[in-house]
Chains A and B, each alone.
Chain A
Amino acid sequence: MEKLLKSIAEILEVEEVDCRKKLSEYEEWDSLAGLSLIALLDSDYGITMNGKEIQSFDSIEDLCNEVLKRTKL
């Protein structure tokens, strides 16, 4: 979880992410950041998520939980 949060922070260009926030609440969240996140999930976690899915989460925490759930399968 910590590693993933750190990677998301890098993509959003912030020191630390607030798990309760939505991705879209961050100023740096745009389609290019989205591509970086999709690429990260694919390369580091072997998970394919499309844009709609990634943006459907109510918080970054929910997104992380989903990633963890899928990597454990």
Chain B
Amino acid sequence: MAFFEIKNVRIIGIASCMPKHVCYTKDSLVNDKYNADEFIRSTGIESRRLDESYTTSDLCVHAAEKLISDLKWDKSEINVLIFVTQGPDYLCPSTACIIQDRLKLSKECYASELPLGCSGWVYGLSYAASMLSRGTVKKGLLLVGDARLFQKTTDPLVGFAGTATAIEYSEGATGFQFHFGTDGSGYDAIIIPDGGTRNQVSQSSFELEDVDGKKMNRLESRMNGMDVFSFAISTAPKSIKKAMTYFNRNLSDFDYCILHQANIQIDEIIRKKLNLTADKVPYSLKEFGNTSSASIPVTISTQLKGKVENKHTEFICCGFGIGLSWGTVMFSTDNLFISDLVEV
């Protein structure tokens, strides 16, 4: 029963950064099986932001700088930095340490990295919130994103994004209520087989293999779409329902339900299972694609800008995917600050 409640902490602001370069599905799809229209219909993705000259940490640093400056935060007060990504700058050291220096944060900083994908923002939030809820540290940054193509030329889903979420100790705040789950038996549903210590890089890592009709090498990420699909449509609604039952909440309590932007079919099935109207479940998928762990903050910052800034808003968010790993979080914001989208 992985339920947690963490009080006295709240989200103050969110910023997202993406590359300027827009990649349109209709221009870029390399697949003889489906045409672009069919692909857009089944995924809901019309365009994405891609630019391989940026790493995840580059995008997150831009988002963080913008948010820190918008909030007029004193950098010396930021003593918690959590970086969530599946695309670190190096295999080691931790990119979180590098970001501490790039942002010129105090050396009195707890910096740690969490290698999770689509569930990553929710997990990262639980880390940051639990560090801050004690009140000994007042301000923390959660930097989350991925800027890495699954496959070099044919990846049709992924959009690059780096996000920053500003979290603050706040005496008396209702905080966060979480439900988490993990099923490592599905570890190979989405996997890069080589490059870690289990299968170290060798000559054979570069040899092309036939994976579900596609040629790819063992350093590219492969996905068993059907397994991920059946996992997502069954697990995400269950996690949301479990969280609500445990904490005695109702879906009608929430202004918005933000789902990981997997693809339109998955998200629509989840939305319908929860009987939620479309206006409560905004999507950033159409314009920005599947932005991995960044998809929840990207959806909030691009789709809810102008709708949540000057009021109280109740959120329920669910991230689910690679691991397999999932998490649901419920929280409220008052006058949430959303920075303008940073484009680099």
Contact = CB atoms under 8 A, between A and B. Distances in A.
Interface of A: 30-32, 34-35, 38-39, 42-43, 48-52, 54
Nearest to A35: B229
B34 interface: yes
A51 B226 contact: yes
Contact of A31 (B225, B233, B269, B272): B225
A38 B33 contact: no
A38 B38 CA distance: 18
A51 B33 contact: no
Contacts of B203: none
Contacts of B272: 43
Interface residues of A: mostly helix, strand, loop or mixed? Answer: helix
Interface residue tally of chain B, by bracket?
10 to 19
Given A38-B229, A38-B233, A42-B230, A31 B212 contact: yes
Contacts of B28: none
Interface of B: 33-34, 38, 42, 212-213, 224-227, 229-231, 233-234, 265, 269, 272
A31 B33 CA distance: 11
A51 B233 CA distance: 13
Nearest to A38: B230
Given A42-B234, A50-B231, A34 B33 contact: no
A72 B234 CA distance: 19
Nearest to B226: A51
A32 B263 CA distance: 12
Given A42-B269, A43-B272, A50-B226, 11 more contacts: A30-B213, A32-B34, A34-B226, A35-B42, A35-B265, A38-B229, A42-B230, A42-B233, A48-B233, A50-B227, A51-B229
